[in-house]
């Protein structure tokens, strides 16, 4: 019987920016240890182009990323850890996942909500990416200490 990696679900509202970045980063940093998935309550049509760009800047291939509704996974995938990466979780993001052994909340500001020049918007996506990467690295380091 093959070993199955525990699944980590990254949640946010539209599943077009933060949770997609988090999914790709977790795969990059610990894809040998975890299955990374993302979903949202009101998924958008496509992953935000700036989210794809900031992943590529880090040498991460965003192939296969797509917005998904939580209904695609609910009751179908066993989740070990559910991580909400939405700063406005109390208003719009799922804060809990039924059956998850661990539930975390990382309030990351929505880079897609930033208005301004293309340079300012790209900077917001880079900040979100770097914050998410730091959170994932810290979480992974904590797991290694257990």
- Which positions are annotated as active-site residues? 12, 86, 93
Does 146 reside within a domain? no
Does 39 reside within a domain? yes
- In the chain, the number of structural domains is 1
Does 43 reside within a domain? yes
Give 23-79 pLDDT, tens digit per residue. 999 999 999 999 999 999 889 999 999 999 999 999 999 999 999 999 999 888 899
CA–CA dist 7, 10 (Å, integer): 10
Cα dihedral: 108, 113, 115, 118 (round 10): 70
Q: What is the CATH number of the domain that holds 34?
A: 3.40.50.2300
Residue 60 sits in which domain range?
7-141
- What pTM was estimated for this model as a whole? 0.92
Does 2 reside within a domain? no
């Amino acid at each position: 019987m093959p070993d199955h990696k525990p699944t980590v679900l990254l949640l946010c509202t539209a599943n077009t920016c933060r949770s997609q970045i988090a999914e790709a980063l977790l795969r990059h940093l610990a894809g040998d240890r975890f299955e990374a998935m993302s979903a949202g309550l009101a998924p958008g049509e496509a992953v935000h182009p700036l989210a794809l760009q900031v992943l590529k800047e880090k040498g991460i291939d965003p192939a296969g990323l797509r917005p998904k509704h939580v209904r695609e996974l609910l009751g179908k995938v066993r989740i070990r850890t559910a991580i909400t990466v939405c700063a406005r979780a109390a208003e719009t993001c799922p804060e809990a996942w039924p059956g998850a052994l661990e539930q975390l909340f990382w309030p990351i500001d929505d880079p897609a909500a930033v208005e301004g020049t293309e340079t300012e918007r790209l900077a917001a996506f880079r900040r979100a990416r770097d914050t998410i990467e730091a959170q994932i690295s810290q979480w992974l380091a904590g797991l290694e200490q257990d």
